Chain A
Amino acid sequence: MNATGIGAAVRRKEDQRFVTGKGHYTDDVNRPGQCHAYFLRSPHAHARIKRIETKAAAAMPGVLAVLTGVELAADKIGNLICGWMITSKDGSQMKMAAHPAIAHGKANYVGDPVAVVVAETLAQAKDAAEKVNVDYELLPALADPAKAQSEGAPQIHEIAARNTIYQWHLGEAKAVEVAFNSAKHVTKLDFINNRLVPNAIEPRAAIGEYDSGSESLTLWNTTQNPHVARLVMSAFVGLAPEHKLRVIAPDVGGGFGSKIFIYPEEVVCLWAARKVGRPVKWVAERSEAFLTDAHGRDHVTHAEMAFDAEGKATALRVKTIANLGAYMSTFSSSVPTYLYGTLLSGQYEIPAIYCEVDAVYTNTVPVDAYRGAGRPEATFVVERLIEVGAREMGIDPADLRKKNFIKNFPHQTPVIMTYDAGDYHASLKKALEVADYGGFGKRKRESARHDKLRGIGFSTYIEACGIAPSQAVGSLGCGVGLWESAEVRVNPTGTVEVLTGCHQHGQGHETTFAQVVSERLGIPLENVSVLHGDTDKVQFGMGTYGSRSGAVGISAIVKALDKIEAKAKKVAAHMLEAAEGDIVFADGKFTVAGTDKSSAWGEVALNAYTAHKFAGQELEPGLKEGAFYDPTNFTFPAGCHICEVEVDPQTGESEIVAWTAVDDFGTVINPMIVEGQVHGGIAQGVGQALLEGAVYDKDGQLVTGSLMDYCMPRAHDLPALKVEMTRTPSPSNPLGIKGCGEAGAIAAPVAVINAITDAIGSEDLAMPATAQAVWQALQKAQDRRKAA
């Protein structure tokens, strides 16, 4: 390992601009002649739009255009789409309703755009929007996913009877039934995986610009995947041919999944820019973000686990209703299916699993992938059942886990996945040591002395990252390939530019990707720059989500570096007048094996471009190589998190007093950055467990519509986290990387709930486990005890 290579805790290259305020985010971009868009949104969850009167608004000062769904349709701007086709158990295809960028005919959630005002200033656009008169006919609203399929529920889209998008299943129902019939013990749970509002602190933003000279469009956008955005807006929405549309994602202030998707606002900014002949800018306000960013989770689940007399899990049965909101967002269909059902085996050898998922429409903002996407929900199911099962059977929860762990790899689960490598005992063992599990009883007694209830909760989670190979995801209905691309450009002076199809919005790719290059080429870190986020500069790539950039994106860089090295060796062979096969490359030097003849990296790079030492017929000048990498399997990060809480029984407040995380991410490029990802993930998971929960009232109004009512985690909600790692490299990519971005958010919620339920001695506790919720659970348990 060199000082800046793989495994080094290098300080981040990108931080210089971020700590000095020189980051360049979409809202920091201002285009000459730019005007501003303001979206008038439906205040009703479900309403027919009978008429929209825009004349008065159009006459207001500074107004350039007032546009509605009528103009959008007239201009033949296509609908937004969901790109993963799910097939129901009866063989029918999912029911994807039309999703126009501006509601046309009917508004289907509070926040659905019904008109856009483009004006010289934002204040003028807002003033004019108040003069737009929309004649609504109110329709009964549906907000509760559990009621979506009931008889008499309001029907949201004609295409979807009983609001049902699909009825999907996975696994063997028969085998599961047989196993349940002979079970010694069955643990049953009903729960809701709470709906979350992503809340990246940078709100979404877009600037559309039209150049009539080249008949091309440019979009600055807060997106995690500029090429995917361009593809959808070109091929499906039809804004411009792909080569006439440039998408730039500059610095992006957090994504968490919510910036993967293609939203109405960017479509409208591009469309409006062409109509008014001026750049059109839109920046979401926080309250607008609450109403319009795709939310996460929102599952209603019944789950049962069967155990034999020894406590071995014999079967798992899960029935989930997944709320996808008013329209199908870009990847929403895959989240409660292939990113959820396929992870239900957890870290355990469960012979039979059967999972049914009904996805439904409701009059709420669309729901899509949010940090973890399906995997936190799966982990919650499995880890709650194991924990509660252990308590019911009187087995130590750590022991029950050990008894059921998968020990041999590769392991084929009953739900598609083949786990390629892992060591679940190792991470549990280390976590038990770090958390001083043996000392818990003493700590619990100590807490009791000052009137606190102490509890401990485990989460031995697994996730599938990388989300590839493309052939496999294609066979499951995915509309795109999930490989990644890279280009490595060596300059004549030997400095290097890496062009990646990934996109960073907090992950530190500019550092970690450069570390891989630095190590491989033996050049200083500062001689490597990483370019991303501009479709005019970078070759087609798939972007960043699903903890994929290390496992897939870096693998593409490694593949391109292989080609660079091979080519450079050819150049060096000519320079050193030796056979290509005799050239050895190490520590940034090309040497003729067995001699002291050598050329430095910089000399070879220069020679590749001067091309003085070889004839163009035998070797092309230049040193630039591209690669596309498609993994052979998903990667399977896994680990053990242990949460310890103290509950104040008088107020119901829970304080997390200790947290241990032992994760197996395979090869780690930069441990400092990985630890940071774990910290952030845990914070978000704790947010889901204790604080966050989107609440819609029965009329479909979002009650938690601002940070005044929707609680995000703050530093004081967390203790100092103990983060450790174990390492079993992934066999599915060249460096053995597994991915770390989502692990914390996947592992954490259930660890917290397992800890609090342990403390209060009642399993009846929903997320978020606010002080009130815990107090109510305690009251109920007390009432039950009194009644008994």
Chain B
Amino acid sequence: MPAVALTVNGKPVTGDVDPRTLLVQFLRENLRLTGTHVGCDTSQCGACVVHVDGKAVKACTVFVWQIDGANITTIEGLADPNGPLHPMQEAFREHHGLQCGYCTPGMIMTAVDMVNRKGHDLDDPTIAISAAAPATITS
């Protein structure tokens, strides 16, 4: 049982896990952060994307012990729960960028990562294509 210590949404967390535990399972089952969802089993759909040390990563394709010590941000930690939405959350809402909401957390985390990487270099086609790559259309 490897012991892991991570920072999740700014809070230190620890746990002894079965080596098979994927990051997404640790988040959903151990920490009850159920905003990160699982949509496929071939690392394609992007519903489970979270940030590991500031980079978008598919939480279904990383063992939690692999990233021991890392800083994780999930959809729940993107904005202060008592404050305003993160601008990307607000943009999704404002522009009707979601329907059933299931893959939305993954899409938002992916979109934030895209802005982090590209900043002002983003243009419309880049937004369309980059957003497309990780996440399929769900509704």
Binding site for B on A (CB under 8 A): 11-12, 14-25, 27-28, 123, 199-203, 251-254, 256, 285-287, 505-508, 672-673, 675-676, 680, 683-684, 687, 706-708, 712-717
Contacts and interface: CB of A to CB of B under 8 A. Distances in A.
Contacts of A203: 38-39
B47 interface: yes
20 contacts: A12-B96, A19-B90, A19-B93, A19-B101, A19-B105, A23-B101, A23-B102, A201-B100, A201-B103, A251-B102, A286-B40, A286-B42, A286-B45, A287-B41, A506-B101, A680-B99, A684-B137, A713-B136, A716-B129, A716-B132
* Nearest 3 interchain pairs by C-beta: A21-B35, A253-B102, A18-B101
A123 B29 CA distance: 14
Contact of A712 (B79, B133, B137): B137
Nearest to B128: A715
Contacts of B116: none
Contacts of A508: 99
Given A203-B39, A253-B138, A673 B101 contact: no
A506 B20 contact: no
Given A23-B102, A256-B139, A201 B45 contact: yes
Interface string B66-82: 00000000111011010
B101 A15 contact: yes
A706 B41 contact: yes
Given A12-B93, A201-B138, A680-B139, A506 B100 contact: yes
A272 B104 CA distance: 33
Contacts of A683: 137
A24 B98 CA distance: 15
B102 A19 contact: no
Given A253-B100, A254-B100, A254-B102, A11 B139 contact: no
B6 interface: no
B20 A123 contact: yes
A27 B32 CA distance: 11
Contacts of B135: 714
A555 B33 CA distance: 38
Nearest to A687: B137
Given A18-B98, A19-B98, A715-B131, A706 B103 contact: no
Interface of B: 18, 20, 28, 33-42, 44-45, 47, 74-76, 78-79, 81, 85, 89-90, 92-94, 96, 98-105, 108, 128-129, 131-133, 135-139
B34 A708 contact: no
Nearest to B91: A19
Nearest to A677: B99
Interface of A is mostly: loop
A716 to B, nearest CB: 4
A202 B35 contact: no
Contacts of B18: 123
Contacts of A18: 98, 101, 104
Given A15-B92, A253-B138, A202 B42 contact: no
A189 B101 CA distance: 41
A588 to B, nearest CB: 27
B102 A11 contact: no
A96 B129 CA distance: 47
A21 B33 CA distance: 8
Given A715-B129, A715-B132, A25 B102 contact: yes
A16 B93 contact: yes
A708 B129 CA distance: 19
Given A202-B100, A252-B100, A506-B139, A20 B79 contact: yes
A684 B18 CA distance: 40
Contacts of B36: 21
Contact of B102 (A202, A672, A676): A202
A285 B41 contact: yes
A550 to B, nearest CB: 15
A12 B103 CA distance: 17
Contacts of A707: 40, 42, 44-45, 136
Contacts of A287: 41-42
A154 to B, nearest CB: 31
Contacts of A717: 132
A254 B90 CA distance: 22
B14 to A, nearest CB: 21
Contacts of B92: 15, 19
Contacts of B133: 714, 716
Contacts of A706: 40-42
